[in-house]
Amino acid sequence: MSGPTVVFAWRRTPPPLLIGGAEVSQQLLAEEFVRAGWRVVYLGSHEAPWNGSAQIGHLRAHLLAYGTQWEEAGGEVRYRWNGVSCRAVPQDRLEKTLWEVLSEVRPELVVTSQEGAADIAALARRTSRVAGWLHSVSANSHGVLHGGPHVALATSKFVAGRAQTPARTKTVVFYPPFAPAESDLTLPTSLAGLDHAPGGVLMVNPIPAKGSVLLHQLIHRLPGRRFTLVEGWWDTAREFTGYPNVRWVPRTYAMGSLYAGSDLLLVPSQVEDAFPRVIVEAGLHGVATVGSSRGGIPEAIGDGGVILHPDDADAWVKAIESADRTGLGAKARTGAVPLVRPCLPELAAAGLIPAAAAG
């Protein structure tokens, strides 16, 4: 390919393993670069950066399930995913492999984030423009700033306000990329039986940090409401499957049908979430959110929902029972649609890529 080159480099897995919002956002941006004629290399590791556990089995299984061929030699896995050239290596070989990639392809831009990103940014800065993507306000996410990226991409105004950016780094607000609402809402076989339930509510990732303690109270106090809960970072099914008004859904990438099957999204986080993707995705399906007042959640909800303190159970019960789902859902869609946009022009405006190469 003769076009310009961008490299995504981090210590997590390359696409298509989607653990959380950071993985989804980076994959969507990588695929937009492909559509704009760029050569895209995505370098990651098949060992988890937080504990070194092997992810290679999960990666092979996922590629096999999607009919994707891969090459494996010397501990490295190579494959193509939606036009993106993906490479997964052991953690102790990532920086050496990155330097080889930088020397070979001389990318115009390197995008990095999350665990150990400061070292990646410092290395990449020798040859290329570097973007450090701030996906949250955690020390783990903001650690990339120590590597001196040229631009820090803050995933919300809330995140930008928390960034302690060094003098040589410019911070810009860069909302996550989003795909249009799915037009085919046919449920996959694994989700059969999850029909639309008027008044039904949906929550993704029901763990303590995301508000599972409050969720238990709401399920108890609203026995006539159907709660659809979707597995997130880890499986908490045991906590919830005993409730008669709960439907548990294992982790899935087919979220469109779940949004369409509910009238309200719950985001009762106890932590300062940066800009939850689920709020915008639900909004694209005309689903409003009742969300916590923490972090960037109010920024993501805008006019398309209700914002409450995460410890006020009475207020949450009242909101679920009385929220104007139709009116708020329409506002949620109005707020979400502009975020389905070309993102490369924003990177050009930030000085990361040439305007002529923004598609």
- Sheet of 246-249: strands edge to edge? 246-249, 227-230, 201-204, 264-267, 288-292, 305-308
Per-residue pLDDT of 239-254, as tens digits, reads: 999 999 999 999 887 8
Q: Examine the domain organization and report whether 21 and 163 are in the same domain.
A: yes
Q: Examine the domain organization and report whether 85 and 204 are in the same domain.
A: no
Q: Examine the domain organization and report whether 87 and 200 are in the same domain.
A: no
Q: Examine the domain organization and report whether 151 and 271 are in the same domain.
A: no
Identify which of 337, 25, 18, 22 has the alpha carbon closest to the alpha carbon of residue 181: 337
Q: How many domains does the chain have?
A: 2
Average pLDDT over residues 212-227: 96
Q: Examine the domain organization and report whether 154 and 195 are in the same domain.
A: no
Q: Examine the domain organization and report whether 264 and 295 are in the same domain.
A: yes
The pLDDT value recorded for residue 184 is 46
Which residue segment(s) compose the domain that 299 sits in? 189-338
Q: Examine the domain organization and report whether 173 and 230 are in the same domain.
A: no
| Residue 296 · residue 156 · CB < 8 Å | yes
* CA–CA distance, 229 with 266 (Å, rounded to integer): 10
The pLDDT value recorded for residue 196 is 55
Judge whether 182 lies within some domain: no
Percent composition of the chain: helix, strand, coil (DSSP 3-state, to 5):
40, 20, 40
Judge whether 135 lies within some domain: yes
CATH number, domain containing residue 85? 3.40.50.2000
Q: Examine the domain organization and report whether 140 and 118 are in the same domain.
A: yes
Per-residue pLDDT of 287-311, as tens digits, reads: 999 999 999 999 999 999 999 999 9
Judge whether 46 lies within some domain: yes
Average pLDDT over residues 53-66: 92
* CA–CA distance, 209 with 95 (Å, rounded to integer): 32
Give the alpha-carbon dihedral of 328, 332, 333, 337, to 10 degrees.
160
| 121 or 1: which leads in pLDDT | 121
Q: Examine the domain organization and report whether 132 and 18 are in the same domain.
A: yes
Judge whether 280 lies within some domain: yes
Is the pLDDT assigned to residue 188 strictly greater than 70?
no
Cis omega (within 30 of 0) on the bond before 16?
A: yes
The pLDDT value recorded for residue 195 is 55
Task: Report the share of the chain in percent with pLDDT over 70.
Answer: 95
Judge whether 94 lies within some domain: yes
Q: Examine the domain organization and report whether 151 and 24 are in the same domain.
A: yes
Per-residue pLDDT of 163-185, as tens digits, reads: 999 999 999 999 999 999 875 44
Average pLDDT over residues 137-155: 97
